Chains A and B, each alone.
Chain A
C-alpha cells in the first residue's frame, strides 16, 4: 500500500464550481497536513497547513482533515480559471516544513 494516495485526475470543472480534492494516507505518524499548488513550469507553493482534525478556511480554500479515517480534503469555492494547476497533498514528518512526503498531485482545469 502506498503511503499517500491521490487521484491524479485530470479534473475539469466549469468556472464557479466547487472543487473537492482528496488524499488518503496510511502512515499514522503523519500529524501535520499541507496542500501545495503547482502551476505549469513552476515549483510548488504552500496553500494551506493544518494540524488538527476538522476544517481550516482561508478565503475560497478550505482544508479538511479526518485523522480517524486518514483522509484529507481541499475544497475550492467559486473556482476560477487561475486555479488551474496541479494540487499536491503533503505531509511533513514532525511539524516543520522539511523532508515532506508528497502525493502524486491532482491536475485541475477550470474552464471559463
Chain B
C-alpha cells in the first residue's frame, strides 16, 4: 500500500449536484495531483497542488476546483455535475517532483 488514502470509496450523485472528494497524502509529501480516469481510459491530469498553491492544471473546466490544506491533505470539488463526470478520481502524492504515489481512487457515478 502507498499510504495515500481517499474517501469516499464510492459515491453516487445526481446531475447538477456538487461533490467533494478527499485525499490524505503519504507522510512527508507536500504535493498532490488529481487525475480523472474514465472507464477504459488512462488517467487524465486535472490539477496539482504544491504547498497549498495550484501548480498546474489540465484541460478541465473551472467547475473542477481544489484545495490543499496545511497538513498537505487535499480536496477535489466538482460543481454542476454532468453525466460525463462519472469516473474514477485518483489522487497522487509526492515530495515535490519526485515519484508520485497513487491512492486507490474514488469511484463517482453521476445519474
Contacts and interface: CB of A to CB of B under 8 A. Distances in A.
Interface string B1-26: 01010000000000000000000000
Nearest to B58: A99
Main SS class of interface, A: loop
Contact of B102 (A8, A41, A44, A104): A44
B66 interface: no
Interface residues of B, number: 26
A30 interface: no
Interface string B43-81: 111001000000010100000000000000000000000
Nearest to B92: A43
B90 A43 contact: yes
Interface residues of A, number: 21
Contact of B105 (A4, A43, A90, A99): A43
Contact of B42 (A42, A43, A45, A88): A88
Interface of A: 4, 6, 8, 41-46, 88, 90, 96-105
Interface of B: 2, 4, 31, 33, 35, 40-45, 48, 56, 58, 90, 92, 94, 97-105
17 contacts: A4-B42, A41-B104, A41-B105, A42-B105, A43-B4, A43-B102, A43-B103, A45-B101, A46-B99, A88-B42, A96-B97, A98-B48, A99-B45, A99-B58, A102-B44, A104-B41, A104-B42
Given A44-B43, A99-B45, A99-B56, 9 more contacts: A6-B42, A8-B40, A41-B104, A88-B42, A96-B97, A97-B97, A98-B97, A102-B43, A104-B40
